Amino acid sequence: MSFRIDVFTIFPDLVEAMASASVIGRSRSAGTLDVRVHDLRTAATDRRRSTDDAPFGGGAGMVMTPQPLFDAVEAVDPPRPLFCLSPAGRRFDQAMAGELASSTGFSMLCGRYEGVDERVCEHLVDGEVSIGDVVLSGGEAAALVVMEAVARCVPGVLSNEASTAEESFSDGLLEYPQYTRPASFRGWSVPEVLLSGDHGRVARWRRAHSLARTIERRPDLIEARGGLSDEERELLAAHGLDPATGESRSS
């Protein structure tokens, strides 16, 4: 059975373009993902096919009017939950991506202009989702962020099942540094341990550097997982990494 994602937008081409390439495009062809993009304008009833109107109470910009949004959604009866993309929504993160991926599908409604009429938020959608504390001109880019993040957590979408398990945030840590050929580039060498072929040593080095990088860049993630264990402190020290700052002690 395929995982279904419906997107409602006044720019279907924008969403289709990105949802047709790479991982999502391939999964759609393979039948693992069923992405359906709906044009909100087709549900507009006036001659200009307008989806916006001036805000009651005055002020700059336009607001998306409820009728085409309700009609478009009701005509399709899309998989729930249906989220409205909004800077005022619940902050999207990897945990939410995993939660959504463990269901059978969900839907997204993309705002434009100054946003959507509040009755859409209250009576049509199941919640609002934000991709972070930034303001975009429309929900399409945000919907694509959510779609990509969820899709790669859906079983069967990534060919290598292990690749999501080891990634950033999967165990509350950032990913370790990655290297590929050549072993020496402009005089900068790849850490010797990665060339050793010793899988145990490689795994310990990766774990140590994953911890160190998280301590240095995202202490909030370390705090959220309840700090470091004694074993983790020892692992860091054994790799010349400072458990307090994550920095290399040798440099």
Q: Which residues are near ligand SAH by CB under 6 A?
A: 85-88, 110-112, 114-116, 130-132, 134-139, 142
Find the shortest distance in angstroms from Cβ 221 to ligand SAH.
21
Nearest residue (CB) to ligand SAH, 86 versus 164: 86
Give the neighbor-by-neighbor strand order of the sheet with 127-130.
33-39, 3-9, 105-109, 82-91, 127-130
Nearest residue (CB) to ligand SAH, 142 versus 212: 142
Nearest residue (CB) to ligand SAH, 121 versus 215: 121
Find the shortest distance in angstroms from Cβ 50 to ligand SAH.
16
Q: Which residue is nearest to ligand SAH (CB)?
A: 111
Nearest residue (CB) to ligand SAH, 64 versus 208: 64
Annotate 139-150 with DSSP letters as a single string.
HHHHHHHHHHHH
Find the shortest distance in angstroms from Cβ 78 to ligand SAH.
17
Annotate 29-72 with DSSP letters as a single string.
HHTSEEEEEEEGGGG--STT---EEPPTT--SS-EE-HHHHHHH
Burial degree of 138 (CB within 10 A; 0-12, 13-18, 19+): middle
Find the shortest distance in angstroms from Cβ 150 to ligand SAH.
14
Nearest residue (CB) to ligand SAH, 1 versus 134: 134
The span from the CA of 83 to the CA of 71, in Å, is 16
3-state DSSP assignment of residue 127: strand
Beta bridge partners of 83: 108, 127
Find the shortest distance in angstroms from Cβ 20 to ligand SAH.
22
